[in-house]
Structures are given as C-alpha cells and as structure tokens.
Structure 1
Amino acid sequence: MTQQKRRTDAVPDRFELKQRLVQQMLSGNTTLGQIGKALRTGGLQMSQTEVCKLTGLSRQVVSDIENDNGNPRLDNLRSYFKLLGLELAVLPRQRTELDSLLKPYTEV
C-alpha cells in the first residue's frame, strides 16, 4: 500500500482523533504539544521533517512545540497548528468558567 493510500484511508479517523484530543485539552488532560504530536503522527501520518517543509519551521522548533519545551513564538505555533487543522484560542483558566462556557454545547 502506498503512503498516499494510507493517508487517504486515515482521513475520517483524523477528524475523530482531533475531536477527542480537543475534548481532552478542554478538560485539562493533555497539552498542546501532545495534541500536535498525536495529530501529526496519528492523524496526518507525517514526519517532523515533512511538517518543516510545509510550514518553514525548523525541526528544533517543531520538536520544542511537540515536547512542550522552550518558549515558541506565536507565529510559529500558529503555522504549526494551522497545518494540523487547528487554531489557537484564548480560554479562561478557571475550569468553572470554562465549563459554564461549554455547557450549552455539551447539553443534548
């Protein structure tokens, strides 16, 4: 099976994976770096080198983002997460405030 075929087959799972990871982040159970690495490897099946070629970021910057190291620049974070289909947002730090914001979206 070719690499392109594997990526095509993985597309529906990528969206489910993204949703699950964002829910984990909103509940405080994962970091931005963990989300990025999981989406890159599991969802997009890309190497760090491929991410670097597409974003123009250095491999060290990508590694630092995925390992929650250093102090990456905002524009680097935006480029990295844009490739993964995500954008950065500002959320309240207090769980109670966040829960009240999310409540209308989680009720059935």
Structure 2
Amino acid sequence: MSTTKGDNASNADRFALKNTLLKQMLAGTITLGELAKTLRSQGLKMSQTQVCKLTGLSRQVVSDIENDNGNPRLDNLRSYFKLLGLELAVLPRQRAELESLIPHLTND
C-alpha cells in the first residue's frame, strides 16, 4: 500500500497535535481526559463508538476516561491510550521535578 501526500500531511498534523497536547498536559494546563478526547476526536477523527468497537471498552468507560470521571481499570486505560498511540507512565507530581527530567517537553 502506498502512502499519499495527504496521508503524510495528516500524520504530521496528528503528530503535532499529540505533541502539543502532551506538552499542555505535562504543564498542567489540560487534564488527561481532555488530552484523550481531543486526540481521539480531532487527531484520529473517531467517535466514542468507533473506539469502543476497536478496544472492546464500553461507551461508559470511554466517556469516564475522557471526562476524568470514575476510577477506570488500568487495563482499560492501557487499551484506550494504546489506540491513541500513547502508553501510560509514572511521572513526578511536582512540576519542578518534571522540568528537571524533561525540560524540552514543558518549555516552549
């Protein structure tokens, strides 16, 4: 299968959106749920129903993740974020510690 110019542009757009959202989340200006919902809807152009079909998650679980509600199971979070091209990680809660580890991610 060949890649078209449009595919490359949309991949670059998704990559840029993902990077922007990650920086905002690491800076504390958006939540994990806001990142997830924006990346799903704007980056992947997918509905919650499509996510449910691909991951096997219920619509309620997907909604809870995107709205920072409930207490989703770790395996559900992994499935959801894997679809978005992300993985879960442990990071320090203090912004100063985070910036000392990865300054290029939080400063622009």
Question: TM above 0.5, one fold?
Answer: yes
| Superposition deviation, residue 10 in structure 1 | 2.8
Q: 1:85: which partner in 2?
A: 85
| 1:13-92 to 2 correspondences below 5 Å | 13-92=13-92
1:96 CA drift (Å) = 1.1
> What secondary structure sits across from 1:63 in the alignment?
helix
> Could you tell me how far apart the structure 2 residues matched to 1:40 and 1:17 are?
11
Q: Is the 8 A contact 1:34 1:66 kept in 2?
A: yes
Q: CA deviation at 1:72?
A: 0.4
Aligned residues: 101
Residue 99 of structure 1 is matched in structure 2 by 99
Consecutive unaligned residues of structure 1, counting only runs of 5 or more, are: 1-6
Q: TM-score, normalised by structure 1?
A: 0.86
How many percent of aligned residue pairs carry the same amino acid?
71
- Cα distance in structure 2, aligned partners of 1:10 and 1:45: 11
Backbone CA RMSD of aligned residues: 1.9
Q: Secondary structure at the match of 1:57?
A: coil
- C-alpha contact 1:14 1:43 (8 A) present in aligned 2: yes
CA distance in 2, matches of 1:55, 1:35: 18
Contact 1:65 1:72 in 2 (8 A): yes
Could you list the structure 1 runs, at least 4 aligned residues long, displaced by more than 4 angstroms after superposition: none
Q: Which amino acid aligns with 2:66?
A: E
Instruction: State the TM-score, normalized to the length of structure 2.
Output: 0.86
